[in-house]
A and B are shown apart, each in its own frame.
Chain A
Amino acid sequence: MKKENFLWSAVKTGLIFGAIAIFLCFVGMVEVFSKRDVIEEIITLGQFVLLATMVSAGLVASRQTSSLLEKNTPVSNLVAGLVAGLLTGLILALLVVIGAQINLRAVFLNASPALYKLLTFDKGVGNVWILPTIGAVAGLIGAAYLLLPQILSRPITRSIFFVIFMALFSGLFRVIMINQGAGMSRAAKYIFGQTGVTSPGALIFFFGVILITIFWDFRGKAIQSGIASLPKGGQLSLRVIAIIVIVLIILLLPLASGPFIAQVIVTVALFVLMGLGLNITLGFAGLLDLGFVAFYAIGAYTVGLLTSYGPFGLQHIPFWVAVPIAVLVSMGAGFMLGLPVLGIRGDYLAIATLGFGEIVRLLAGSDFLAPFFGGPQGIIGIQKPCLGLLEPFVKVDVPRICNGIELGKPQDIYYIAVASALLIAFAAWRLRESRLGRAWMSIREDEDVAEALGVNLIQTKLLAYMLGAAMAGLGGAIFATLIGSIFATSMQLLVSINVVSLIIVGGMGSIPGVIVGAIALIGLPELLREISEFRYLLYGMTLIIMMITKPEGLWPSQATRRELHHAEVEAGVKV
């Protein structure tokens, strides 16, 4: 087969990336992102996104050139990168020129004068040639990057990503550091600007990471083998120290970061709880449940009804008594759901459970059951947890007085949520390694064979539904106390879909995967407020890219890893 001309392929790459750049402009991403800096007064996030598109154009074109030409010289790579980057820039320039003549706003709302101003760097349409120039240079850089030896390219990539990471989360780190007192506060203001890192900060991060990477490249092996050669006791104490450090960070984080971060972490922990629950039904037992939010709702409503001092409170018992009851009630609900859908498999099961989730949400919010669940008004006045004795209930709308420490603030709930998430993660891990865990997985793999080997399908499946539901119910119970009120409208189908997505992104059936997935899909969007406008766009993109490039998830389950390790060891022996 005749191979394609590399220049033609570079042109195509340039056109594709040009289209991507225009798409980013038209959805408004460039404009919104321009309000944030990556490096203060040097480059905004919006500019960075466009620049990254051009550099990637060069990179991709250069890579294609390497695969198309048998004997490629660095020059042909650079030419291809230049062409691709130039074209990307040209297309953007074309957009500006056309936009100056015709009003595109009728169709593309975001094709505003502000956008053109950004694209021409405030210098007017006459200076539009800057764009292709930048594109060409960026393309060249991208192409050149591929030609660098790995020893150079790796530290550079890492430092660039680290700078961007620090810039995106600058607000977070800034707040944490400023809370630490005057010295730290001055350092924070030196490194972090209002919406990004400052140029000295960027330099510090950039060269800091480069130095560390290079150091690790040269000395890492020696350090690793040094640790491995330590006596057993030494290794153990190292591990103990690591655990103590992690525990200290977990304990002190909310004190240092303030309520906002604590609340974000609580949200993540609640999704971890739901994720762990669904990981049992879906990840282990392979039973797709699209109505998982129902159990969350049932847990939340149970705690609400049992502890609320509002008009719908049935009982006024302490949080600590209500939570186990809520877990049991959710478990019962799992049983009730499981029973009718026992014989249903695959797609049909997904639809049946979807219906279950919607029924629970609609019932909770219905006028028909409003006398019990408050209907659209929801349940308000949920008693905060109290470490100590609660004084007796007096009258409606007056919370019981807590003789002790009241855990009212998000920072307080943080401890409950994180502790529950860790505890449940541990339980899930124990279950996975048990007889029941293996039975679940065998059902996931082949139901008929599992049954022929003596696995009782009814019992095992029901347990999967019940234990999964219990975990989600615990999450809901904590959610109710965190917010202090529950509304049926917060129990949307979207929550269920989020949970399914986080499991898939994290790695089906993997417990650390659930945590990683929850941080990636729930935590990051919460922290990056500016991006939240494009949350679901990015969300969808992430899912598609993940499924294409890394279908096993960010943190695949143990079996996969164990096997990979096994293969490595064998290869090592052969060599």
Chain B
Amino acid sequence: MTTILTATKVNKRFGGLVAVNSVDFEIPEKAIVSMIGPNGAGKTTFFNCITGFGKCDEGEIVFEGTPIQRLRPDQISRLGISRTYQNIRLFAEMSALENILVGQHIFLHSSWVSAVIGTPKVHQEEKIALAEAQRLLDFVGLKGQGDMMARNLPYGAQRRLEIARALATKPKLLLLDEPSAGMNPRETEDLTAFIRRLRDELGITIFLIEHHMRVVMGISENITVLDYGEKIAEGTPTEIQRNPRVIEAYLGRGAATEGMANASDRFSNEKNSIQH
């Protein structure tokens, strides 16, 4: 299997604090992989390194053969990486449709002069873009809400709109930062199915950060665990559930030594309950 993204020895420091400490990481093409870890483990920082939000201090990130660690976010997005945010960051004072249209920015080429003159080419381009935006809106199940201001959409719809906006850039790799945060079990289930659809129907590689173990264990093919900025484990969901270092990181040293079996039961229980 070919890898779509390779990170080698990625380092990120904030002053004296090492937020990401020489992490090696790989994402196979058309896979769904996750990153988990306790709060403050450096997951979002690692995300930011990939998307160019906060440049990493050392190390190399290669996306489809192109080193991207020195590129600006807009250049990275042009290569085909898109993301959503832990705390929803929509363009609040713009309509849902406009939000998606901004996502299509990189595919539109009209200059401001031709826009003022209103050449037929611009009209054509806008028309196609609008149709595509409508299609994406329908795809995430927000049909007919295009004129709503983003800030007035209900929470779940905002999450979906954010994904639609990310999809508008036609990404090859989609990074989801805690997509199920603040969702009820029912919505979470829908979301899990939706993420699978993204991969199966659109062939997008998915990389997600998630706290919700049900989601992570349910859909990931590969899981990486971060703690204090270091990669402490990597493997399939089953392997991760059995890994003593992971259990230690999540539940403390005591749990790792005394209740190994118990703790791993708790992980697998969660996993089972999804399958039911």
Contact A453 B103 (CB under 8 A): yes
Which residues 534-565 of A sit at the B interface, judged by CB distance below 8 A? 559-560, 562-563
- Residues of A within 8 Å of B230, CB to CB, are none
Q: Which residues of B contact A467 (CB under 8 A)?
A: 112
Q: Contacting A454 at CB < 8 Å: which of B74, B91, B110?
A: B74
| Inter-chain CB contacts under 8 Å: number | 110
B98 located at the interface, meaning its Cβ lies under 8 Å from any Cβ of chain A in the complex: yes
Q: Which residues of B contact A441 (CB under 8 A)?
A: 91, 93-94, 98, 102
Q: How many residues on the A side are at the interface (Cβ–Cβ under 8 A)?
A: 32
Closest to A466 in B: B112
CB 8 Å contact bits of B96-117 with A (1 = contact, 0 = none)? 0010011101101010100110
Contact, CB under 8 Å: A434 / B112: yes
Given A454-B74, A560-B149, A563-B95, A438:B101 Cβ within 8 A: yes
Report the nearest A residue to B125, measured CB to CB. Answer: A435
Which B-chain residue is minimally distant from A508 (CB atoms)?
B93
A62 nearest CB across to chain B (Å): 35
Indicate if the CB atoms of B169 and A454 lie closer than 8 Å. Answer: yes
Is B3 an interface position by the 8 A CB rule? no
- Least CB distance from B114 to A in Å reads 9
Comparing B21-29, B78-86, B231-239, the segment that makes contact with chain A is B78-86
From B101, which residue of chain A is reached at the shortest CB distance?
Answer: A438
Instruction: Report if A449-B78 is in contact (Cβ < 8 Å); known contacts: A434-B112, A463-B112.
Output: no
Contact B98 A455 (CB under 8 A): no
Contact A454 B94 (CB under 8 A): no
Q: Determine how close the nearest CB of chain B comes to the CB of A263; give it in whole angstroms.
A: 30
A277 to chain B, nearest CB (A): 14
Q: Which residues in B have their C-beta under 8 angstroms from that of A562?
A: 95, 147
Whole-angstrom CA separation of A467 from B111 in the bound complex: 13
Cβ of A367 within 8 Å of any chain B Cβ, yes or no, is no
Contacts of A434 in B (CB 8 A): 110, 112, 115-116, 122, 126
Whether the pair A455, B112 counts as a contact (CB closer than 8 A) is: no
Contact with A along B181-193 (1 / 0, CB 8 A): 0000000000000
Contact in complex: B74, A456 (CB < 8 Å): yes
A456 and B108 CA atoms in complex are apart in Å by 13
- Given A433-B115, A455-B74, A559-B94, 12 more A-B residue pairs with CB atoms under 8 Å apart are A430-B118, A435-B115, A438-B105, A448-B53, A448-B73, A449-B85, A450-B91, A450-B102, A452-B77, A452-B82, A559-B95, A566-B148
Binding site for A on B (CB under 8 A): 51-53, 72-74, 76-78, 82-83, 85, 89-95, 98, 101-103, 105-106, 108, 110, 112, 115-116, 118, 122, 126, 129, 147-149, 152, 165-166, 168-169
What are 26 inter-chain pairs, A to B, with CB distance below 8 A?
A433-B115, A434-B126, A435-B108, A435-B115, A436-B115, A438-B101, A438-B102, A439-B105, A442-B102, A445-B92, A445-B93, A446-B91, A448-B53, A448-B89, A450-B91, A451-B72, A451-B77, A453-B77, A454-B74, A455-B105, A467-B112, A559-B94, A559-B95, A559-B149, A563-B95, A563-B148
Instruction: List chain A positions with a Cβ less than 8 A from chain B.
Output: 427, 430-431, 433-439, 441-442, 444-446, 448-457, 463, 467, 559-560, 562-563, 566
